[in-house]
Amino acid sequence: MSDPVLPRAEIVVDLAAVRHNVRILKDLVSVDGPVALMAVVKADGYGHGMVEVAAAARDAGADWLGVATIDEALALRAAGDRGPLLCWLSAPGDDFASAVAAGVEVTAYSEAELEEIAAVGGARVQLKVDTGLSRGGAARQEWHDLFAVASDLEREGRITVTGIWSHFAASDEPAHPANDAQEAAFRDAVSLAESAGLDPRVTHLANSAATLLRPSSHFDLVRCGIATYGLDPAPGTSPRIGLRPAMTARARLVMSKAIEAGAGVSYGHTWHADDNTTVGLVPVGYGDGIIRAAGNAASVWVDDSVRPIRGRVCMDQLVVDLHGELPPAGTEVVLFGPGDVGEPTAQDWAAAVGTISYEIVTRIGGRFVRRHIDTDAPDGASEGTVR
């Protein structure tokens, strides 16, 4: 069926699903006592729209918001958010002064970074420790000195240390030995910080997967990124607790046509038709964030049927096998969605191309129009943005 109001290609984000997911996650972590929830909205809200998702998460009870960069944090403040907000990825010379003035809590990985932050004066700082991911955060041999410097700066009134935190490497694999080792190391770090005279308001280690699978790691706060958007942080976890994917990506057919058996499709002719068939042209490609590996791997939804992508994904377009059907130009093509009626999901796409759903939803954009809807609103109120 054609839809005259459907743009050439659009991303539809249901903010009601975001609120639903946050409420479920809040209920989950509240079972064993008061645990705060941080909705992670970095990378433009994992491609869902940072400002809109942040507001929906706050409405549903998110205690904190988390972003990577100071620029992201300042954009949230400019949009009106005033609640607890943490950022954690800075480079030397970043604008700590603006972050502090906006009431954003910043993260320090090292003594040098801590000194740079302290030079601003009045910063609320969280210290990140590396417990085994071997990525950001102070290495174990640096903890003692980092905590000592932080304690001295706090006594001098130059900073306030509000948190200690770390990040799991393999929480999506519950039996992975790194999980126990990292949690034990984190407990050591918190104890060492307290011995240095620090009294952090929050300690946190759990990401989405650990929030769902490892209650012992919840501490004072959990950080939920991918689960906020209703996608699996570990296989099968989101549907089990009733999370709802918030994003649907869709487009319109430009044309459909018949091709003969043996015809090659798209660049390099990486696929040839075994029999006479029909194909449809979809006006999105890797220039819009469609992963190129989807060619000959992922599928879409056309006229209530799954249709495979044939041949290579191009910059602006891709081709799907319509299996003999000739739907008219303008027919809706759902690339992925919640899966409620059988359409492929972001997780299906991820499995097809050997990646994770995070990459599928975060990279999509380009010339797509993004529209936010609220299926809880009486009229399904929507607002469109272009990215």
Mean pLDDT, rounded, of the chain:
96
The mean per-residue pLDDT over the stretch 89-100 comes to 98
Q: What distance in Å separates the CA atoms of residue 220 and residue 258, rounded to the nearest whole number?
A: 60
pLDDT interval class at 383 (50, 70, 90): low
Indicate the DSSP class of residue 318. Answer: E
> What is the per-residue pLDDT across 219-258, written as a single tens digit (0 to 9) for each?
999 999 999 999 999 999 998 999 999 999 999 999 999 9
Name the residue with tokens 């984000």: 13
Q: How far is CA 3 from the centre of its chain?
A: 30
Q: Is 315 annotated as a binding residue?
A: yes
Residues sharing a CB contact under 8 Å with residue 209, sequence separation 6 or more, in sequence order? 168, 171, 172, 233, 234, 237
Residue 276 is predicted with a pLDDT of 98
Q: What is the tens place of the pLDDT at every residue in 158-176? A: 999 999 999 999 999 999 9
Backbone angles phi, psi at 253, to 5 degrees: -60, 135
Residue 324: burial class (beta carbons within 10 Å; 0-12, 13-18, 19+): exposed
pLDDT at 378: 77
230 CA to centre of own chain: 10
d(CA 51, CA 71) in angstroms, rounded, equals 13
Q: Has this prediction a pTM greater than 0.85?
A: yes
Q: Please state, as a whole number, how many other Cβ atoms lie within 10 Å of the Cβ of residue 126.
A: 21
307 annotated ligand binder? no
Specify the length of the chain in residues: 387
Which domains does the chain show, CATH number per domain?
A: 16-228 (3.20.20.10), 247-355 (2.40.37.10)
- Which residues are known catalytic residues? 42, 267
**What whole-number distance in Å separates Cα of residue 292 and Cα of residue 286?**
6
> Could you identify the residue written with the tokens 């060492």?
192
